[in-house]
Structure 1
Amino acid sequence: MSEKKRESVLAGFKAFLMRGNVVDLAVAVVIGAAFTNIVNSVVKGIISPVIGAIGTKNLDVYKSCIKDPCGTGPDGQPTGVEILWGSVLNATLTFLITAAVVYFLMVLPMAKYLAKTEARRKAREGVQETIEVTELEVLKEIRDNLVAQRSGGSGTGATGSRDGF
């Protein structure tokens, strides 16, 4: 590989790494991994015991046999054909609980926060527009007064403005 091509490849790789979306993605992965621990702790420590108080805490034990004899043979190998619907139900409930925790603890509060900050930003822009319009009106008035003074216009008072300034 030539020296020039190697520098080009390295420069391209450096540009790729320095792009904002790569850094944002890396931060999102790290935050996501940390947040996963929080969600799992909430599910394991709070929600699963509540569900366990109603029924069983481990749904993996539920299964159906569609070809007898179901169980474990003398050699330790499973016999028959079992459908492990409890595992599917457990995974589905875990997903739904995790999604609910993420939505109610992260997405909903963040959406409310962003809506409030957007409303504040729009309110500030409205104030700035009012100020800019007011400044523009004042500048137009000053210009009109200066034109009136130069042309010897009347009705502007002793100092050339309607307000006496």
Structure 2
Amino acid sequence: MLKEFKAFIARGNVLDLAVAVIIGAAFGKIVSSLTDDIIMPIIGKIAGGLDFSGYFLRLGPVPETFKGSPSSYADLKAAGVPLLGYGQFVTVAVQFLIVAFVIFMLVRAVNRTLNRDKVQEAAAPPPPEPADLVLLREIRDELRRRPGA
């Protein structure tokens, strides 16, 4: 079983997948920082507040033992108050759109490169025929032209 596991891990696809997961995790942190630290504060400022992820609607009563801020999404959520956190949803949706756009641009660039290679291959002239093949075709054609053949 250990040999099978080593063979499985040593296959190229598994290593490629591992690298992709690690790079994806790092890329996710970059996108989260871009969204949380740059984009969403700008959107929040336009919308009238700085912390857009804290926008919510309270759907239930606040417990009497609640000691946090009644305007804090994190405090209310920790206390178990039912909330509709639309600001957090918008933040996550923006993060998704950024990741989807970057992946689209990456796939688009790869497809263009692959298509360019295919066009260059198609446009390349066919290689010249070997001299012996040309000579054999000439002999064949001459034999066909002779009467009685």
TM-score by length of 2: 0.69
| 2:24 matches 1:32 | yes
- 1:73-84 equivalent positions in 2, closer than 5 A: 73=65, 76=67, 82-84=81-83
User: Counterpart of 1:26 in structure 2: which amino acid?
Assistant: A
1:112 to 108, 111, 127: 108
Distance in 2 separating the partners of 1:148 and 1:61:
85
More strand by share: 1
2:126 aligns with 131
- 1:22-61 equivalent positions in 2, closer than 5 A: 22-54=14-46, 55-56=48-49, 57-60=51-54
Q: CA deviation at 1:139?
A: 6.0
Bigger Rg, which one: 1
Q: CA deviation at 1:97?
A: 0.6
Q: Structure 1 pair 65/71, CA: closer, same or farther in 2 (3 Å)?
A: farther
Distance in 1 separating the partners of 2:129 and 2:139:
15
CA contact (8 A) 1:60 1:84 kept: no
User: Counterpart of 1:122 in structure 2: which amino acid?
Assistant: K
Q: Using the aligned pairs only, state the percent identity.
A: 29
Distance in 2 separating the partners of 1:11 and 1:117:
39
Q: CA deviation at 1:24?
A: 1.6
1:66 aligns with 60
DSSP-derived class of the 1:82 partner: coil
Q: CA deviation at 1:124?
A: 2.6
- 1:139-150 equivalent positions in 2, closer than 5 A: 140-146=133-139
User: Counterpart of 2:137 in structure 1: which amino acid?
Assistant: D
CA contact (8 A) 1:66 1:81 kept: no
CA RMSD of aligned residues (A): 3.3
Q: Which runs of 5+ in 1 are unaligned?
A: 1-8, 155-165
TM-score by length of 1: 0.63
Larger relative contact order (C-alpha < 8 A, sep ≥ 6)? 2
Q: How many residues align?
A: 134
